[in-house]
Amino acid sequence: MKSRKSDKNLSKQIRIDGGLHRLLKIKASEDSTSIRSLLEAFIVEILKDKTAGKEIDS
């Protein structure tokens, strides 16, 4: 049976509330970027901090 899923990307969706969306929209506008790019940058920053913390703990 064929897959009916048209988007076979490995991308994920996140759910944010209206207030956070408004703040992200303002920040993205100030930085001349998209909300997606802004969130991706934050996620990369968080993951770097987590991996750096694990290296120190080991």
* CA-based radius of gyration for the chain: 16
pLDDT at 2: 63
pLDDT in tens, 8-53: 677 778 889 999 999 999 999 999 999 999 999 999 999 998 887 7
pTM over 0.85: no
**Structural domain boundaries in the chain:** 18-57
Q: What is the C-alpha separation between 7 and 4, in angstroms, rounded?
A: 9
Comparing CA positions, the residue from 18, 39, 12 lying closest to residue 28 is 39
6: phi then psi, degrees, rounded to nearest 5: -85, -30
